Chains A and B, each alone.
Chain A
Amino acid sequence: MTLIEHLPVLVITIPILASLLILVAGWWDRRFCYPISLVTILSQFGAAVIILAQVMREGPIRYHLGGWAPPLGIELAIDSFNGFVLVTILLLAAATAVYARRSVEHEIGPEKTVSFYVLFQLLVTGLVGMTITGDIFNLYVFLEISSIAAYTLIASARKPRSYLASFNYLILGSIAGGFILIGTGNLYAATGALNMLDMARLLPASFELATVHAGFLFLVIGYSIKAAFFPLHIWLPDAYAESPSAVTILISTVMSKVSVYALLRIIFTIFTTAYIIDVFPVTGFILFIATVAMIAGAVLAIAQSDLKRMLAYSSVSQIGYIMFALGVANQVALEGGILHILGHAVMKGCLFMVAGLIIYRVGTSRLSDLEGIAKVMPISCAAFALAGASMIGIPPTIGFMSKYYLVLGALEAGHWAYAAILLLGSLLAVGYIWRFIEIAYFRGNRDGGHRARTLEAPASMLAPMVVLALLCLFLGIFVEGLMEIVGPAAALLLGGA
């Protein structure tokens, strides 16, 4: 059927048209924004599932834009790795789209509601485009589209500190974009090709050139800044803590993951494993930095006094886990890393949704003000407990499964010390998760005056949170189904193009 052939490009174009429709319809009447946004994202999620099913059945999809075949034209190349990340992005976007209505009313306010939904659609466009493109310059363009939407979304909270957080992120993100551009230029100068698969074919002839080494370094550092890989994560705590809750959910779960996806794609598909193991051995260094990221992120998270900032530092730690998979670079570890992309998205999404609910009902997210909150918000704290258990890595949740594969991969490659440190990192996660659970459940037998009855949040915010929390459990139980997709994805990465 011809419509299914064109789904890759429809997944990118429909949100652009939807954002314009929201702009015009919302200008007329504000209540149109939410339904249009919801319908668009849900249909995109359906399209992503169909695309992934087709890729698993028939092999990679290569869609030539404009009818021009590469190397003249830009193409969209979807294989199992792409498809998996695409479904993750749209799952979280769908959850956020359902959640957004009350949260936006409360935290952003009526004047900026239309702009929120327009920018939300554009952010999703940029992220989806980044995931499925097969051209390295197009990757940069979509990265900048999503980044500009993110800068504006972060600044739309009604707090003055959000402007500073967004400006900080803008400066660092633009430096990262500049580095990515230099790196892409270096690779283009060395090979003359911009299509990822063509470049992978032409690059081995020039592996020894300093141009290629410089290009590799610029690209890795640029994408690491966007992915908030320690110690380049400085923008992250402010950006996550000061932005409105609906925005935080989307950027914390998906934006940094897509940059990690881009990093994995560049390192494994373009510069194949032959480069990073033989010619420019950088895996050991990345492994070391990733381990430092895991521990430092967790330690800094324990030291925080604000719930959202604590979860932000926890994200720094979790990105370290995925980069750990890159550092080990064998089949099992990469399976764990790719599984963690989905797992962390679901876990962190649920945790930030709980934080958003707490802000919606109580108005603050400082931990000292949240004592005994489990009595008035039982469902939210139960969801936090479940997602937190997954974050620590308690079986059979999905957090445990991804950490299990990571440890197995590290042991297979002989990195005994690193595997031990990974387990230590999980113990540190207990530190910050337990801190909230203790404050919520076991402290404070006072109700805080204004909270005299159950203050559970509206259904449109509860439902996605509960779904994500249950997914943490179910994805872990039914992990073999996921491994049928993740296994070939990891093999594809390691095998090169």
Chain B
Amino acid sequence: MRKNVIIKTISRLSVPFIQVFALYVIVHGALGAGGGFQGGVVFAASFILMIIAFGLTCVRQRFSYRWIVALSALGITIYATIGLLCLIPGGSYLGYGSIETALGVPHLHGYLIDAVEVGIGITVMATMTSIIYDMSDRGGESS
């Protein structure tokens, strides 16, 4: 139908830019406004745009429920594992300073903060996408 052409074209053009912006927001959490949650939500918004423009089945083929379950577990596992790794050299939970002094790499503190933010972003993106899948599914596939 002709009236969908505009929506589909514009979505196809904007989705990559939205996703790059989402990655920018995630990584700049430590330096400015942003962070894991905000970037994850913007990333999920790109998927929502695709669902609105192209329909649920099309998006589901590319990003299946199996991936969503795996990614949402992966993100928090990154977070919790980095926190627990900080216990090994003797610091407290999420005390990045202990790993930094143990490995001797400068500025590792900042990199670990970014890694944790990436983990949070992955989980938030997967969870938000699963919410929109379940709400537009109308009683189809169950968890």
Contacts and interface: CB of A to CB of B under 8 A. Distances in A.
Check whether chain A touches chain B (CB < 8 angstroms): yes
Interface stretch (A108-116, A219-227, A301-309, A376-384): A108-116
Prevailing SS type, chain B contact patch: helix
B93 interface: yes
Contacts of A2: 87, 90
Interface size range of chain B in the complex: 20 to 34
Contacts of A66: 92-96
A323 to B, nearest CB: 35
Interface in A9-56: 9, 13, 16-17, 20-21, 23-24, 27
B143 A13 contact: no
A2, A20, A63, A114: most-surrounded residue (chain B CB, <10 A): A20
A64 interface: yes
Given A13-B84, A115-B143, A20 B92 contact: no
Interface in B89-120: 90-98
B92 A67 contact: yes
A217 B8 CA distance: 53
Interface in B55-98: 66, 69-70, 72-73, 76-77, 80, 83-84, 87, 90-98
A285 to B, nearest CB: 41
A65 interface: yes
Interface size range of chain A in the complex: 20 to 34
A366 interface: no
Nearest to B81: A17
B143 A112 contact: yes
B143 A114 contact: yes
B84 A23 contact: no
B70, B95, B96: most-surrounded residue (chain A CB, <10 A): B95
A9 B70 contact: no
Given A16-B80, A114-B143, A24 B69 contact: yes
B142 interface: yes
Contact of B77 (A6, A20, A114, A115): A20
Contacts of B91: 67
B98 A67 contact: yes
Given A64-B92, A67-B95, A114-B143, A13 B83 contact: yes
B80 A9 contact: no
Contacts of A27: 66, 69
A17 B80 CA distance: 7
Given A16-B80, A111-B143, A6 B93 contact: yes
Contacts of B94: 65-67
B70 A24 contact: yes
Nearest to B92: A67
Given A6-B87, A111-B142, A17 B92 contact: no
Contacts of A68: 95
A285 B97 CA distance: 50
Nearest to A25: B73
Contacts of B98: 67
B72, B91, B94, B96: most-surrounded residue (chain A CB, <10 A): B94
20 contacts: A2-B87, A2-B90, A9-B93, A13-B83, A13-B93, A16-B76, A17-B77, A17-B80, A20-B73, A20-B76, A21-B73, A23-B69, A23-B73, A27-B69, A64-B92, A65-B92, A67-B97, A67-B98, A112-B142, A114-B143
Question: What are the 9 tightest A-B residue pairs by CB atom distance, in nearest-first order?
Answer: A67-B95, A9-B93, A20-B73, A66-B94, A111-B142, A67-B92, A24-B73, A66-B95, A6-B87
